[in-house]
Structure 1
Amino acid sequence: MNGGVLARRAGIVLLCVVVFLGCLGLAWWQWSRFMAAGGDWQNFGYALLWPLFGLFPAFMFWRMRTLRTRAPAEQAASQPAPPPEPDKMPVRQYAVQDAEDDPELAAYNAYLAQLNARHEQETR
């Protein structure tokens, strides 16, 4: 591990600690407002939420580290399989329906041709 990565991780950890302490301070402030004479349940809710907000950056740092360490192993395991040999590939037979056999298909094809012709006239 080189010094740049170590410094970056130390900076992220320091930032997580500062954010957590700041959120704990805000939770304490909301708790004191809840305990005051004019406090209400909204202050109590915020006093419970601020520590969770403070833990979120630490959770994201942990999540990114686990995904980064797991990614090379998953990439090695998910190497694509070699393509099958041409003589062993399955042959698929598709039934081609002629427009003359189906009047609904002929009408739809005529409608698409009309739309295409209109589009070509508008783009000229």
Structure 2
Amino acid sequence: MAIVATCLVSLLVCCGLAWWQWDRFTSANGTFQNLGYVLQWPLFGLFPAFMFWRIRKLRQKAEADGPGNEKQPEVPAPRPRPDVPKPEQDEDEELAAYNRYLRELNARDQQAAE
């Protein structure tokens, strides 16, 4: 209820400022900048109401999805790049040997932790 009251007060204050700018625009020393403010102030006044509406809508959507219904973002599989040369057989053997070494180190760490 306080948020709605704040939104209404904001709108009333900003409409009052728009009226003040309109009076300045229609006076002898008014400029088109004052006319721009006449159009701008009501938008400033409506912004808190828009944010309240948007937050409420997002909260309703989150409640409708539920805590167990979070969707995991789909990650596309990487596509092969034509500008990157494919590894040669020797590089694959080196990589396989390195991966075997890493598995051995991991197994030793697991045994030491037990």
TM-score (normalised: structure 2): 0.60
1:60 shift after superposition: 0.2
AA aligned opposite 2:5: L
Q: What's the secondary structure of 1:96's corresponding residue? A: helix
Q: In the alignment, which residue of structure 1 is the partner of 2:103?
A: none
Superposition map of 1:86-97 within 5 A: 96=92
Cα deviation digits, residues 17-52 of structure 1 (max 9, x gap): 011100000000000000001100000000000000
Q: Higher RCO, 1 or 2 (CA under 8 Å, sep at least 6)?
A: 2
Residue 73 of structure 1 pairs with residue 64 of structure 2? yes
Moved over 4 A (4+): none
The count of aligned residue pairs is 76
Task: List runs of 5+ in structure 1 lacking aligned partners.
Answer: 1-9, 81-94, 100-124
Please report the RMSD computed on the Cα atoms of aligned residues, expressed in angstroms. 2.1
Q: What secondary structure does 1:38 align onto? A: coil
C-alpha deviations, 1:92-121, integer Å up to 9, x for none?
xxx72639xxxxxxxxxxxxxxxxxxxxxx
TM-score by length of 1: 0.55
- Aligned match of 2:32 in 29, 37, 41? 41
Q: Identity of aligned pairs, percent?
A: 54
